[in-house]
Amino acid sequence: MKQLYLIGGTMGVGKTTVCQQLKSELSNSVFLDGDWCWDANPFQVTDETKAMVMDNICYLLNNFLRCSAYETVIVLNIKIIVFKPSHDLFHTEVFFLQFFSA
């Protein structure tokens, strides 16, 4: 059964470190950082770029979930996602982890 970890939280609480650790400890895992999809110069948030980034994230996520080489998909920094799964999520365990600073 596939596992999907959705990780979020405030800046500086160690989310990336946790994701990297999960990736190294869970066999056949892949790490998708949603912030990477916004790494552009100049940084522009428009209706067009928001739609493009969401399409790209959904595309990557669906492909990782479909790929038989990976058992676990770890996704970081997906603020709001309208996920249109092309993968059968009935065979996927989903974990939501939210980190906050003290």
Q: Who has greater pLDDT, 21 or 12?
A: 21
Q: What is the pLDDT of residue 83?
A: 55
Dist CA 70 CA 68 (whole Å): 5
Concatenating the DSSP letter of every residue in 57-86 gives: HHHHHHHHHH-TT-SEEEEE---S-----S
Q: What is the pTM of this model?
A: 0.81
Q: What is the pLDDT of residue 15?
A: 92
Residues 19-41 pLDDT 10s: 999 999 999 999 999 888 888 99
Alpha helices (runs of H) in the chain, residue ranges in sequence order: 15-25, 47-66
Residue with tokens 């405030």: 10
Residues 27-86 pLDDT 10s: 999 999 988 888 899 989 999 998 898 888 888 988 999 999 999 999 998 765 555 555
Q: What is the pLDDT of residue 22?
A: 96
Q: What is the pLDDT of residue 10?
A: 86
* Residue 5 burial by Cβ neighbours in a 10 Å radius (0-12, 13-18, 19+): buried
Q: Who has greater pLDDT, 63 or 91?
A: 63
Selection from 5, 26, 1 nearest residue 90 by Cα: 1
Q: What is the pLDDT of residue 81?
A: 54
User: Are the CB atoms for 33 and 6 separated by under 8 Å?
Assistant: no
